[in-house]
Amino acid sequence: MVGLVIGLVTLSIFLGVDKKKISSQKNEISDLEEKVETLEKKVSNLEDEKDDLEKKVADLTEVNNHSYQPNLSSPNYQTTSPETFYQNNGQAISGSGFAIVVYKPSSCDYFILENSSGYIVAEWMGGNDPDLGDKVSGNFNSFGTKDFFNQSRDRDCRLWIDDYMLSKESALEKVREQCN
């Protein structure tokens, strides 16, 4: 009988130690599951950021692919840089002068022009519809509908100036909002 009591006491001590180990291991597992959940959230956030950055890169690539690239081999191409032209003609101060159509998505009346003050978002309202690379002259320093002159086509056009003095990214975002 003493042997049975000693066996039961030994078994209960052994089982008590195992219960403590099991409880400790359960706590460790719970902590590890929380860490995994936290890391999965971080991965998800990073994937979202990656998607946003890839979209921005794609948009900027689209702008570069659709941007006006002057034909330097053309005999009519003037070698004066835009900065020099703007400075020499005082157009950087007044906001009037000319701008070049640098981005024009298909099937949308909004497009982007560039002048010495930055990028301009405009909507075609009538007259000649400027094309990519066209040089348009007029007053670009205020909002609203105005008459302009497309020097490349020797034709008048009416444009709505939606915004001006923008960065390339801001102008692209505005056009994307209007055209989508």
Mean pLDDT of successive 10-residue segments in the chain (180 residues)? 66 64 78 86 84 71 55 39 42 63 89 92 91 90 91 92 93 89
- DSSP 3-state of 167: coil
Q: What is the DSSP letter of 132?
A: T
Q: Looking at residue 122, what is its pLDDT?
A: 95
Tell me the three state secondary structure of residue 48: helix
In the prediction, which pLDDT does 136 show? 93
* The pLDDT of residue 83: 43
d(CA 123, CA 129): 10
At 49 the pLDDT is 80
pLDDT at 48: 84
Enclosing H/E stretch for 165:
strand 155-166
Q: How many whole angstroms separate alpha carbon 177 and alpha carbon 174?
A: 5
Task: Give the C-alpha separation, 111 to 123, whole Å.
Answer: 6
